[in-house]
Copies of this chain bind each other. A is one copy, B any other.
Amino acid sequence: MDARLKNLDRAFNPRSIAFVGATEALNKWGFLILNNLLTGGYEGKVYPVNPGRETVLGLKAYPRVADIPDDVDLAIFTVPSGQVLEALQDCAARGVKAGLVITAGFRELGREGAAMEAEMVKKAREAGMLLIGPNCQGICCPASNLYPWMPILFHPPRGSVGFVSQSGNILNMLIGHVVTSGLGVSKAVSSGNEADLRTVDYLSYLAEDPETEVIAAYMEGVHDGREFLRRAREVTRRKPVVVLKGGRTSSGISAARSHTGAMAVSETLFEAACRQAGVMITRSIEECAVTAASFVSRPLPRGRRIGIVTGGGGLGVIASDFCTEIGLEVASLSPAVLSELERLLPDWWVPGNPVDLVAGLDFTVIKPVLETLMTCGEVDAVLFLWIGAPRNENQALKVERGMDISGVWDLMDRHFLEYSHELYEMMRRLEVPLYIATTLRPETRGEREADRRPIIFDSVESACRAVSAMAEYRAYLESPPGKG
C-alpha cells in the first residue's frame, strides 16, 4: 500500500487528536462533533484548538496547533473554509500525518472554493499528510471508540462492515440499516469532496484492513474511471464491494454536481465496467446496506439454484416469482428428495419447491426439512421465510370474554431467535448458505452479538437479492482475472 495511505491508520487509531475549531456553542459542528468524540469513549489525548478560550468541555485549549506540547496523529478541522489553510500549514509543520476536514465551502461552491481546495491539497501532499474531506461528516472506528462525526451521539457498535460514502446522510442511513440488521461497523468514512483521498483509496485501505469483511460504498462520481476500475479489481479479488451509485440519470448527475462537485460518468458504461471489475451494483440505500451485510459470516452459494421453505403458501409464490425475475433458479427437486421431505411433512403436503410447511410451525420439523435441502446437492442456497406474529399493541384486549394469550407472541419470538442460532450453526457446518427472512420486528430480535449471527432479512426481496449478489460474487471469484 502507498505509504501516505498507510497514514489512515493514524486517522482510525490515533493516539492524540487536535480539534481545530473546538467550541461550546451548542449549535456548531465544532461542539457537536467534539462532543461525539468525547461521549463515544475515545481514550486518547484530545487537544481543543481555539484562540479565544482557555478550556473547551473541561479540556485545556490551545491557540494554535503549533502550541500543543505533544505529537498529534490526527487533526480535525471545523473552522470556516478561509481558516483551514493556515491551520493545516501549522499541522504540516508539526508533522501531523492525517487531517479530517469537516469544513464545507470549497469546490462545491465554484471556482474560488476550488482554488482554496487545490492549495490545501498541495500543502498537505508536500508534507506527506493525507486529507479526508473536505465538506464531509467525519469518520468512525468503533474498535477505537472513535466517533468524530456529525450524527449526534450516534455510536454504532464494532463489527465487520466497512463503509465509504460521498454523502454523510447516505452514510448514516447505510449504517443504520446494517445496525438494525444486528451487525456492526469496522471503519466508516464520509469522503465528501474527495480533494485528496478518493473512494478508491479508502477501498484499497479497507481491502487490507483485517477488521473489514465486506465493503459498502456510496459514490456520486469518479475522477479517473480507468484508474478506479484497475484498483477496484484488486480490492474485489480480496473482499466483496457493494456499491450504490448516485448520479445515474441526467437529473441525478446535476444534483450530484451541486452536492459534492462530483464529476459524473456515463451511467451505463460505468455500471457495466464495475460489474466486470467484480463490484456489485445496487439500486437503493436499503438494498446496498442489506446486501453488504448478507456477506458477513455466511458461505458463498456455489450456484444460482435455490430452495425455498415457507410457513405460508403466498410467501412461497412471491418468493418464486422474485427469484425467477432476478435470475435465480427455483430448483426442481428430484423425486428422491421430495419423498424424503414427504416423510417429514403432514399428509396434506403438496410436494414441490417452495416447500410449504402448510402452517406447520413445529420447529422440530423445520430443521430436518432445511437440512434435507442443504445436503441434497440440488440447491446452492436455502431461503427460509418465517412470518412473525403480526401485532398491534395500540388496541386493548377485551378479556371479559376470551383469553389473553398474548404471551404466545414473546414465546414464539424467543423460540424463533434461539432457533435461528441453531440453524445458522447448521449452515456453517454444512457450508450451504441459509437466508432467513421474517416479519419479526428488529427490536425483538434480541441483543446484537458482534457479527456472530448472520443477519435476518426483513423482506423476501432483500433476502433474494442477497442470494443473487453472493452467487454473482462467487462466480466472479471463480472467473479468470481480467486484464487491466
Contact = CB atoms under 8 A, between A and B. Distances in A.
A403 B168 contact: no
A399 interface: yes
Nearest to A443: B443
A401 B312 contact: no
B57 A170 contact: no
Contact of A220 (B170, B173, B317, B448): B317
Contacts of A325: 248-249
Contact of A167 (B317, B330, B397): B317
Nearest to A105: B348
A35 B153 contact: no
A384 to B, nearest CB: 14
A334 interface: no
Contacts of A343: none
A170 B321 CA distance: 14
Nearest to A311: B169
A38 B322 CA distance: 38
Contacts of A284: 318, 322, 459-461
A151 interface: yes
A276 interface: no
Nearest to A147: B395
Interface in A374-402: 387, 389-392, 394-395, 397-399, 401-402
Contact of A402 (B57, B173, B176, B321): B57
A303 interface: no
A348 B107 CA distance: 12
A39 B402 contact: yes
Interface string A160-182: 00000111111011011001000
A13 B350 CA distance: 36
Contacts of A356: 255, 258-259
Nearest to A155: B395
A39 B249 contact: no
Interface in A303-324: 311-318, 320-324
Interface centre among A41, A157, A320, A323 (most CB of B within 10 A): A320
Given A248-B325, A258-B356, A392-B179, A168 B312 contact: yes
A381 B153 CA distance: 35
A134 interface: no
A81 to B, nearest CB: 10
Interface in A420-449: 439, 443, 447-448
B151 A390 contact: yes
A402 B324 contact: no
B323 A251 contact: yes
A260 B258 CA distance: 53
Considering the complex of A and B, which 8 residue pairs feature the smallest CB-CB distances, nearest first? A167-B314, A169-B312, A38-B402, A259-B313, A252-B321, A246-B317, A249-B324, A39-B402
10 contacts: A108-B350, A152-B405, A152-B408, A152-B409, A154-B390, A167-B312, A170-B314, A218-B314, A249-B325, A286-B459
